[in-house]
Amino acid sequence: MEFLPLFHNLRGRRVLVVGGGEIALRKSRLLADAGAVLRVVAPAIEPQLCELVNSSGGEQVLRGYVEADLDGCGLVIAATDDEPLNAQVSADAHRRCVPVNVVDAPALCSVIFPAIVDRSPLIVAISSGGDAPVLARLIRAKIETWIPSTYGQLAGLAARFRSQVKTLFPDVQQRRGFWEDVFQGPIADRQLAGQGAEAERLLEAKINGEATLTTGEVYLVGAGPGDPDLLTFRALRLMQQADVVLYDRLVAPAILELCRRDAERIYVGKRRADHAVPQDQINQQLVDLAKQGKRVVRLKGGDPFIFGRGGEEIEELAAHGIPFQVVPGITAASGCAAYAGIPLTHRDHAQSVRFVTGHLKDGTSNLPWNDLVAPAQTLVFYMGLIGLPIICEQLIAHGRSADTPAALIQQGTTSNQRVFTGTLKDLPTLVAKHEVHAPTLVIVGEVVLLREKLAWFEGAQSQV
């Protein structure tokens, strides 16, 4: 091990930065965040760096470096493009036993800057010993996706109760077991869900030896339109810790595979005239599983609150006092349109967008057609394939031009995506001609014309 990783307390300590340019500014931001008082020495100092020095209560020295600048400093950073000067600063610091970092010169350093994941008070530092800083940054980026920002709040919660727990458990092994249980159980779940007051209440109860109800929790998670890369960090984290997954027909297999391997999987999908499980039974299943103490992911295609019946499900959970979280997903309208190269709004074509369910109850045209033909408006129809002839007929009958551009997007955002463009009058013909099947999104509006220039997704196949 070439460098021993340590964390340096710089709060209120004076740090010397030699150099006044962009690199010095970048290093100084980290130092200021750590509470250091900056002394910056350079013939010229960037305005942003001057502001940072002033805000730290430090000083600007507009001249070249001299060894006396090290006086009273607990750390020195050489951040110039003058190699002999950097070497001199390093030699002076080593002679005085002051920790020194010379940017991009590991051989001259006694300390180095790691790539940092900041979840204060939780800090993760990654270093390659100066040999491959880009690799360290890439690893940091991966870790950023694994550790939610709320982990810092969880560490803060533990800090507030640390002395109490130490008094309660003098033995270090007992304390370790206590905190492992806290960090892997419902207390951590509550804090990570942003419910700090409830997490604190549960922790106090645990310290006081009070029994708490072991009710599970339901995570209502939007799985997006199909591409697994569109999942949110929180969705992925909850999917990987759930004991049971209830999933819909529109959840892509690749997304389902990201759930915990040993989780029980229950299919509750629906298609036209074929509901595997009625909605009221789904609601009851969620309640029953949570009452068994299980963590349940209700995985829904798109966003759970846009034509996804998510509201009905959490109403039932709330009525039974079941804890739940809602994780939004990228709705099909947004995701599929983006992958098809069709912006839903555009200053020259559409100043509003409207999401409409195209599922016509009993085959009747019960939509507010007069509102749907407003000018400069994009219409997006979900579940509109079966009723498409009626939809097109009624829009034209109520004043929308038969030549209005329109698009069909089948299995949007996936490698099987197909896009067909035409006009309002010929959409039904396109469906029959190309054997278009659900799931397919329908977009009506002038913005469809932009697809010819903006289509970018390799899986898209423009036809007509």
Q: What is the reported pLDDT for 458?
A: 64
Give 361's pLDDT tier (boundaries 50, 70, 90): low
Token pair for residue 212? 């708490």
Annotation marks residue 248 as catalytic: yes
CATH number (3.50.30.30, 3.40.1010.10, 3.40.50.11540, 3.90.550.10) of 217-327 reads: 3.40.1010.10
Asked whether the predicted pLDDT for residue 306 surpasses 60, the reply is yes
According to DSSP, the residues that pair with 14 across neighbouring strands are 37
Show me where the domains of the chain are located: 14-113, 151-207, 217-327, 336-463
Q: What average pLDDT does this structure show over 120-133?
A: 89
Does 44 appear as a known binding residue? yes
Q: Residues near 249 by Cβ (< 8 Å), separated by ≥ 6?
A: 267, 269, 270, 271, 301
Asked whether the predicted pLDDT for residue 133 surpasses 80, the reply is yes
Q: How far apart are CA 305 and CA 332, in angstroms?
A: 12
Q: Residues near 445 by Cβ (< 8 Å), separated by ≥ 6?
A: 349, 350, 377, 378, 379, 404, 405, 406
CA-based nearest residue to 409, from 432, 369, 439, 383: 439
Q: Contact at 8 Å (CB) between 407 and 420? A: yes
155-188 burial code (b ≥16 CB/10 A, e <16): bbbbeebeeebeeebeeeeeeeeeeeebeeebbb
Q: Residues near 423 by Cβ (< 8 Å), separated by ≥ 6?
A: 402, 403, 404, 405, 406
Q: What is the reported pLDDT for 147?
A: 85
Q: How far apart are CA 15 and CA 71, in angstroms?
A: 10
Does 335 appear as a known binding residue? no
Residue of 82, 270, 291, 294 with catalytic role: 270
Q: What is the reported pLDDT for 460?
A: 45
Of these ranges, 76-80, 174-178, 270-274, 384-388, the one predicted with the greatest mean pLDDT is 76-80
Q: What average pLDDT does this structure show over 149-171?
A: 91
Give 149's pLDDT tier (boundaries 50, 70, 90): confident
Q: What is the reported pLDDT for 192?
A: 85
Tell me what the pLDDT averaged over the chain comes to.
91
Q: How far apart are CA 384 and CA 441, in angstroms?
A: 7
- Whether the predicted model's global pTM rises above the 0.85 cut: no
Q: What average pLDDT does this structure show over 159-184?
A: 90
Q: Which residue has the higher pLDDT, 101 or 145?
A: 101
Could you say which DSSP state residue 72 is in? T
16 exposed, middle or buried (CB, 10 Å; 0-12, 13-18, 19+)? buried
Q: What is the reported pLDDT for 269?
A: 85
Does 239 appear as a known binding residue? no
305 exposed, middle or buried (CB, 10 Å; 0-12, 13-18, 19+)? middle
Per-residue pLDDT tens over the stretch 28-74: 999 999 999 999 999 999 999 999 999 999 999 999 999 999 999 99
Q: How far apart are CA 221 and CA 176, in angstroms?
A: 32
Q: How far apart are CA 464 and CA 453, in angstroms?
A: 15
Does 407 appear as a known binding residue? no
Annotation marks residue 189 as catalytic: no
Does 22 appear as a known binding residue? yes
411-439 burial code (b ≥16 CB/10 A, e <16): bbbbeebbbbbbbbbbbbebbeeeebeeb
Asked whether the predicted pLDDT for residue 350 surpasses 80, the reply is yes
Q: What is the reported pLDDT for 291?
A: 93
Token pair for residue 92? 């002076």
The angle that helices 279-291 and 310-319 make with each other, rounded to 10 degrees, is 40
Q: How far apart are CA 308 and CA 304, in angstroms?
A: 5
Residue of 92, 189, 248, 300 with catalytic role: 248
Give 129's pLDDT tier (boundaries 50, 70, 90): confident
Q: Contact at 8 Å (CB) between 460 and 419? A: yes
User: Which residue, chain included where needed, has tokens 């509006």?
Assistant: 445
Give 272's pLDDT tier (boundaries 50, 70, 90): low
Q: Which long-range contacts (CB under 8 A, 24 or more apart) does 261-265 make?
A: 263/297
CATH number (1.20.120.1200, 3.40.50.300, 3.40.50.720, 3.40.50.200) of 14-113 reads: 3.40.50.720
3-state SS, residue 297: strand
Q: How far apart are CA 462 and CA 455, in angstroms?
A: 9
40-66 burial code (b ≥16 CB/10 A, e <16): bbbeebbeebeebbeebebeebeeebe
3-state SS, residue 418: strand
Output helix, strand, coil percentages for the chain, rounded to the nearest 5: 40, 20, 40
Q: What average pLDDT does this structure show over 259-268?
A: 93
What distances in angstroms separate CA 352 from CA 116, 391, 408, 412, one per listed residue? Answer: 42, 19, 20, 22
Does 228 appear as a known binding residue? no
Q: How far apart are CA 2 and CA 83, in angstroms?
A: 23
CATH architecture group of domain 336-463: 2-Layer Sandwich (3.30)
**Sign of the alpha-carbon torsion through 391, 392, 396, 397:** negative
Q: What average pLDDT does this structure show over 400-407?
A: 96
Rounded to an integer, what is the distance from CA 214 to the centroid of its chain?
29
